[in-house]
Structure 1
Amino acid sequence: MLLPFAKPCEEARFVSRHKRFTVLVERGGERFAAHTNNTGSMLGLLRPGGRIWLSESANPARKLRHTLEITDFHGTLVGVNTSTPLRLLRRAVEAGRLEGVAGCEGFRAEVARGNSRLDALLEGPRGRLWVECKNVTLVEDGGVAMFPDAVTERGLKHLRELAAAVEDGDRAALFFCVQHGDGRCFGPAWSVDEEYSRTLYEVVDKGVEVWAYRALVSPRGIDLGERLPLVLP
């Protein structure tokens, strides 16, 4: 397993979205606040009384010791921690489990390019490779995993920056980490963000690569599953 938790996540029940980075949860009759780094809509994943799983920090000084990691979507586990895709990408590259990065090394995270900061930069036999990671939790239409789940101007900016990298002679890729077990293929969410979806097609035509992988989500940790086919023209 590429990303094991320090100890298995603890099951709880979701109560409400308290603030942007906070959820109210219940466990053993006790209600308390837990951290979430997912500021997206998490469309359909947070239902009052629904099962969730929390990791616990070993840092006693941390204000909120628990972090929301997983939700239960009608019996399917869905990973909602938005830091997972980049960490999974790094571990997968190091373990040689990702297509398209053979011979790449020097993994650098959060590297500035133009007016953006992209998630990763690798050096390989074909030169520089820029990668932007996205967490995918929206699945509809019988197994189509889709991104985004809300309008994203930041994501649109990243698409254009990746296209600019290709125009400058570098490689560029999008790593869509599908943390929803029902995902069978991947495509853009036209009904959510038409401009992002249209621009994704445009940058693919310019040479930006799309890597969509299913993540294997469990309370023990996250592993890399199979590469998913793309629903692209």
Structure 2
Amino acid sequence: MDTPKEKSGWSDEELEASVDAYLNMLDRELNGQTFRKSVENQLLRDGPLSKRSASSVEYRMQNISAVLEQMDLPRISGYMPAKNIGAGVAQRIRKVLANKVVPGAGESAPTADHKTLINRAAKLQKKGLKIAPSGNPNPQQVSTTTTSYARDPKVRAWVAELAKGVCEGCGQQAPFEVDGLPFLEVHHVKHLAQKGSDSITNAVALCPNCHRRCHLASDKEAFTLSLYEKVGRLVAE
């Protein structure tokens, strides 16, 4: 929210300075250290927020509280969440927060990494959640760089045909069809990222459950080894 003297919108640098100051105060609050909001407000206006009024800085802090509350993350008790935060401002604040460590967030912090998400969710599930999380109506989009491998469709077709619609891991029928054929996921026993070959001697047809088991389960190593015993064409690499 801009006052009449503040006709220009907040820059990315101003938002980041606000978030940094907020997180610094949050860290102090969580560690039992005292601070004065008015002093912190003045320090910001003496520095990176020199164009802003005291009330504008105060409202920005309430914006940040609102976003943190939406994300089920800790917030400063002295900054009540703003009730009518614009979607655009909220999205920009989330973008800044995505690159910050929120004090006290621990295992409840949102993450774009799937494996980290599963691990954090498992810890929270074991600990127990007493109230339903509010979630995030506008989850932050995160750009990542991934490496993909060119895979031979003939290898996939051959392995899928050998399986005849039966998972080579658990022996169950494929759970559904795609393009009129039973769908099984072709998994490279030695992962391509580990220099495994894209060949029929290193690939098995698995149902989605067994495929996820190979990547995520507590017994993934033992289950992977069992595939060599179940599927005669496999050759350890």
TM-score range, shorter chain: under 0.3
Larger radius of gyration: 2
> Could you say which structure has the higher strand fraction?
1
> Could you say which structure has the higher helix fraction?
2
